[in-house]
Structure 1
Amino acid sequence: MSTMELKKEGAVYILSLTNGAKANTFTEDIINEYNSVFDELEASQDNAALVITSTDPKFWSNGINLEWIVTKPSSYWFQFGCLLDKLYLRLALLNMPTIGCLNGHTYAGAAILAAAFDFRLMRADRGFFCYPEVDINIPFTPVMQQILKLLPDHQAVAELALTGRRIGGEEALKMKIVSAIYPEETLFPKALEMAQFLAQKNRKTYTIIKRGMRSNLVSLQQNLPGA
């Protein structure tokens, strides 16, 4: 069963997460779906941009599906962490502008994925952003640590990561986790407007600049197992 839908509006790709009943959480199959989408996007040639949003008004994504992962042997957890690392790096280095339209709760592994976007917009009136790993005993991998460093205010990130505190849109804006916040009815139109602007940029030049600014991630990607 597909848990996401990709469509294109003009030069903007819109990936809608459609598994709200499971809070758009990650399993191996869902990571494979993301990778299939990224394969398609990377293979495209024209100037473009990507927006990832959710069809569920409550959840953007809650990260790893904990009910699913606890059914796996402990030996699998490392393997799954590697799959997540590869996913985060693919989004962070994707060869087009990327925008996270965070229209619902964004927790844990999904909040790490959100950090990999070039830009993040969040709903102003509802939804929390949270790194609860310190409270659920799941430490960040070295790759995850580097993804978090993409967020501009490192002290704010440290506070969130070390306390597990959740924040709403207004505080996320003050802490520079997101670029802007909007009411529910204007959030996606604003994300689309920003994506349409960024899609006018020369894709090759944009990608060279982005990857140059994230050269440490390029090295990490090249040295991952199975890269």
Structure 2
Amino acid sequence: MAGLDRDGDVFVLDLGDGENRLNPAAVAAINARLDEVTAAAGPKALVTTAEGKFWSNGFDLAWMTANPGEIGPFIQSVRVLFARMVTLALPTVAAVGGHAFGAGAVLALTHDQQVMRVDRGYFCLPEVDVDIPFSIGITELIRARMPVRTAHEAMTTGRRYGGDDALAAGIIDGVADQEKVLATAIAMARPLTGKASRTLGTIKSRLYATAVAGLVSGEAVEVPV
């Protein structure tokens, strides 16, 4: 379950040490930690990290299989979380030290900056291989957060990008050795802690207005039949 620590003015949100899949409990825990961060006074930034092989392996498919009647509301709660993250009124950095797949990869993209482990771990949007189309809101979010040609390749081929490949493709902002991913992310975030919070939130809300409108619209969930 998501934990929260602090390094000076930089809050560190830890997704956990497992596959860190998204289910209702995980979404609620992340939102609760974000509530704590946004309520804190003074200069601040947020780094989201995880321990182990995975940063986030996307949706909790086992939970979805066991709860078919709740899939729609759950998926919408994830979309709303993405809308919240991409417009958060403070600087954010994803310290991606392990695999980020599917919705986990999209969660990484909702941060202002991303740093990946250089030698292991993939960024991947595998929806084309698992027969689940991207919603309009998610599509617009991905288009807004990476070069269009890269978005096309990532979304239509399901390519797995290692750290160097993701950096070259314009998906992420930096790479680091395993033991330096978190420290690098914190170092990226720390100089930005003094930015004007209200103005930053307004800028991000306007910058990603199209994506956010799609994410919060309540678009029907498409699943394989």
TM-score, length of structure 2 as denominator length: 0.91
Q: Report how far residue 220 of structure 1 moved.
A: 4.4
Question: SS state of the match for residue 18, structure 1?
Answer: coil
Q: Which amino acid aligns with 1:12?
A: V
What is the alpha-carbon distance in structure 2 between the residues aligned to residue 161 and residue 6 of structure 1?
Answer: 32
* Aligned partners of 2:88 and 2:204 also within 8 Å: no
Give the structure 2 partner of residue 213 of structure 1: 207
Picking from 134, 148, 151, the partner of 1:154 is 148
Q: Kindly provide the CA deviation profile for residues 135-186 of structure 1, in whole angstroms up to 9, marking residues without a partner as x.
A: 1122111221121122231111111111112110111011000011111122
Give the structure 1 partner of residue 10 of structure 2: 12
Q: Report how far residue 187 of structure 1 moved.
A: 1.6
Picking from 39, 45, 48, the partner of 2:44 is 48
Does 2:122 match 1:128? yes
* Alignment of structure 1 residues 179-198 onto 2, 5 Å: 179-198=173-192
Q: Report how far residue 211 of structure 1 moved.
A: 2.1
Q: Report how far residue 123 of structure 1 moved.
A: 0.7
Q: Report how far residue 32 of structure 1 moved.
A: 0.8
Q: Report how far residue 217 of structure 1 moved.
A: 4.0
What is the alpha-carbon distance in structure 2 between the residues aligned to residue 40 and residue 151 of structure 1?
Answer: 26
Give the structure 1 partner of residue 28 of structure 2: 32
* Aligned partners of 1:151 and 1:176 also within 8 Å: no
Aligned CA RMSD, in angstroms, stands at 1.7
Give the structure 2 partner of residue 78 of structure 1: 72
Q: Report how far residue 81 of structure 1 moved.
A: 1.4
* Aligned partners of 2:59 and 2:103 also within 8 Å: yes
Segment drifting more, 191-200 vs 147-156:
147-156
User: CA 1:222–1:79 in structure 2 vs 1: closer, same or farther (change >3 Å)?
Assistant: closer
Unpaired segments of 5 or more residues in structure 2? 220-225
Give the structure 2 partner of residue 106 of structure 1: 100
Q: Which amino acid aligns with 1:26?
A: L
Does 2:97 match 1:97? no
Does 2:139 match 1:145? yes
What is the alpha-carbon distance in structure 1 between the residues aligned to residue 85 and residue 109 of structure 2?
Answer: 10
Give the structure 1 partner of residue 55 of structure 2: 60
What is the alpha-carbon distance in structure 2 between the residues aligned to residue 224 and residue 91 of structure 1?
Answer: 17
User: CA 1:47–1:220 in structure 2 vs 1: closer, same or farther (change >3 Å)?
Assistant: farther
User: CA 1:146–1:97 in structure 2 vs 1: closer, same or farther (change >3 Å)?
Assistant: same
Segment drifting more, 144-153 vs 47-56:
144-153
Q: Report how far residue 218 of structure 1 moved.
A: 4.8
Count of aligned residue pairs for this structure pair: 219
Q: Which amino acid aligns with 1:76?
A: E
Q: Report how far residue 87 of structure 1 moved.
A: 0.9
Question: SS state of the match for residue 206, structure 1?
Answer: helix
Q: Report how far residue 65 of structure 1 moved.
A: 1.1
Give the structure 2 partner of residue 203 of structure 1: 197
What is the alpha-carbon distance in structure 1 between the residues aligned to residue 9 and residue 100 of structure 2?
Answer: 26
What is the alpha-carbon distance in structure 1 between the residues aligned to residue 59 and residue 187 of structure 2?
Answer: 30
User: CA 1:69–1:224 in structure 2 vs 1: closer, same or farther (change >3 Å)?
Assistant: closer
Q: Report how far residue 214 of structure 1 moved.
A: 1.9
